[in-house]
């Protein structure tokens, strides 16, 4: 970036050209992006978050049941997840198919069994 040259300076203000202002804003956004990337990398290294395969992201964006997507990602059958969450497999099947929304308690237990936040299971 070229040196920024103020157009005018007073005790309370500095006037910049639009080009200099835009360049400063772009640099600020880049710094913010780098800081965010460092936080994400630290979270991944510490096991506080996980990377999701693009196929999983595509399924979630396509509107597929988040419970089903996460269950598949964790390699669990419906029966195994239902057992871990303390519910009947039929109820889990209804949640995954969208026939039932699932109670807050059920979603909480599913989230615990899947090791995700409850919000990750809500469309």
At 62-82, the pLDDT tens digits run 999 999 999 999 999 999 999
Structure tokens belonging to residue 53: 């395969």
- Determine the Cα–Cα distance for residues 118 and 112; give it in Å rounded to an integer: 8
| pLDDT computed for residue 1 by the predictor | 54
**96 within 8 A of 68, measured Cβ to Cβ:** yes
- Determine the Cα–Cα distance for residues 17 and 4; give it in Å rounded to an integer: 9
Give pTM, 2 decimals.
0.66
């Amino acid at each position: 970036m070229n040196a920024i040259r103020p157009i005018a300076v007073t005790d309370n203000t500095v006037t910049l050209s639009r080009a200099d202002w835009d360049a400063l804003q772009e640099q600020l956004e880049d710094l913010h992006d780098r800081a965010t990337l460092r936080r994400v990398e630290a979270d991944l290294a510490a096991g506080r978050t996980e990377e999701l395969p693009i196929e999983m992201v595509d399924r979630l964006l396509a509107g597929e049941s988040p419970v089903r997507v996460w269950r598949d990602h964790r390699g669990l059958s419906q029966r195994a997840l239902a057992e871990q969450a303390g519910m009947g497999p039929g109820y889990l099947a209804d949640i995954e198919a969208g026939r039932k929304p699932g109670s807050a308690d059920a979603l909480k237990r599913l989230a615990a069994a899947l090791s995700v936040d409850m919000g990750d299971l809500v469309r």
